[in-house]
Amino acid sequence: MVAALSSSRTGRGAIRFILACVLACAALAAGPGSAQEVPRSREQIALSFAPVVREAAPAVVNIYARKAPRRAAAPFLSDPFFRFFFEGFGNPLPRRAPENSLGSGVIVAADGLIVTNHHVIEDADEIMVVLSDRREFRAEVIGADHAADLALLDIEAENLPALPMGDSDRLEVGDLVLAIGNPFGIGQTVTSGIVSAVARSTPNGGSDLSFIQTDAAINPGNSGGALVDLNGDLIGINTAIFTRSGGSIGIGFAIPVNLVKALIRSVNGGGEGLQRPWLGARIQTVDAHLAQALGLERPQGVVINQIHPRGPAARAGLKRGDVIVAVNGREVSDGKALNFRLAIGEVGDTTELQVRRNGTTLDLELPLETPPYEPAPQVTRLEGRHALAGATVANLSPGLNRDLGLDLFESGVIVLKVDPATPAARLRLRRGDLIRNVADEPIEQVADLERIVRAHPLPWRLEVERDGKRLAVVIGG
């Protein structure tokens, strides 16, 4: 499946390069008065990343995603009279220009499996993959995860050059890396740098996971390209940059390849995206003040503030006030690092948590499970002669909450949709509203809401939670 990389020149070149760096650092450390050494052999003069690039570059592809042109919105055309009037003239509104996006991808299996960023192919009507030998293939999305910004593509091809996937957990700050991609559409480009940080959160906070930070130049068009080590192994998927100018300033971020492995494992098991195990607890990053209050020697890990009664944390024996400092021996610095550690685990297995409790260290086994849909969503369109008719509602649960991007502890009944020109629309209900109370009765499940709207005559007092605020209105009073 995955083409192995075997190049003795690659290994020798990497070793020589590292030795040269060590010698250079030693000379600098000796001070300005020390004698500098010139290269002693032709091999030292000819040190190059070329052997690594020669093996890795053919597995990096260009991706062109196209959105078909769409006409501008025309609400009046939904009216039958206007549709009849314009029928002989075609659609009178101009078509918008097609939207195209450019990115990179990495072949990770010789039979056509390619990984890229989700934002490269998002909402695309057509995806084309161009190989390094300039062959073109239409691609199909077979798995994606928006939150992790990963997508898996498949093309009908065989015997393709594929990059072996390394172990991103073995990376250390200072390791030499290469970034390969197609910046600005100018063609395949290779840049070099080091690992600047691991388990790093992006400055914009757009993801709930952690990343590899590198100073290898990454620019627009590099998205989805490869970050490789000096063995030629894929260790990350380039995904974002921090910039004030639009160009690279040496702060780039890559998705660790171990998360790519988790996505592939999930898709091979029949899923469409990452199966993310949940902790079942509300957590807070330990800062200096909190560390002092908890009696820790230094700020580390995350503290448990609340435990879901039906979650894995409760079954693992975690308690409020516990501090999770490591997962399977890997330190966690914040909530995103913890989420990453859980995300790369396999659902159905267990993982070991290192926990600080009252000055002692405990090892607890956490079952890896996805958040449950309990109670069942019971998606229902409310119908009948009442003020909430036309609203589609559902029961919240940890599983549905994650799908909707809500707090996993939230419960009750949520509005999923409001049909136009219905009583619910005239009441100005919105998608995302939480119905808390109707006719002075609390609403815990959809069945409660259906029973109350049918049984209680007006007037009602309706209480809704929106964006964390409680809104109340009397209907029919």
What's the whole-model pTM score?
Answer: 0.80
Residue partners of 401: CB distance under 8 A and separation at least 6: 371, 407, 408, 409, 410
pLDDT band at residue 299 using 50, 70 and 90 as cut-offs: very high
Instruction: Encode pLDDT of 439-464 as tens digits.
Output: 999 999 999 999 999 888 888 899 99
pLDDT band at residue 372 using 50, 70 and 90 as cut-offs: very high
Higher-confidence residue of 164 and 79: namely 164
Contact by Cβ (8 Å): 27, 36: yes
What pLDDT is stored for residue 455 in this prediction? 86
What pLDDT is stored for residue 258 in this prediction? 96
Q: What is the DSSP letter of 141?
A: E
C-alpha to C-alpha distance for 311 and 409, rounded to whole angstroms:
10
Task: Provide the mean pLDDT of the chain.
Answer: 85
- pLDDT at residue 63 tops 50: yes
C-alpha to C-alpha distance for 130 and 141, rounded to whole angstroms:
16
Average confidence (pLDDT) over 188-213: 84
What pLDDT is stored for residue 240 in this prediction? 83
- pLDDT at residue 369 tops 50: yes
Higher-confidence residue of 96 and 378: namely 378
Residue partners of 202: CB distance under 8 A and separation at least 6: 211, 240, 242, 253
C-alpha to C-alpha distance for 172 and 169, rounded to whole angstroms:
8
- pLDDT at residue 78 tops 80: no
What pLDDT is stored for residue 457 in this prediction? 84
The β-bridge relationship of strands 211-214 and 150-154 is: unpaired
The domains found in the chain, sorted by start residue, are: 1-12+45-68+99-272 (2.40.10.120), 281-367 (2.30.42.10), 380-475 (2.30.42.10)
C-alpha to C-alpha distance for 284 and 321, rounded to whole angstroms:
10
* Residues designated catalytic: 119, 149, 223
Task: Give the 3-state secondary structure of residue 255.
Answer: strand
pLDDT band at residue 47 using 50, 70 and 90 as cut-offs: confident
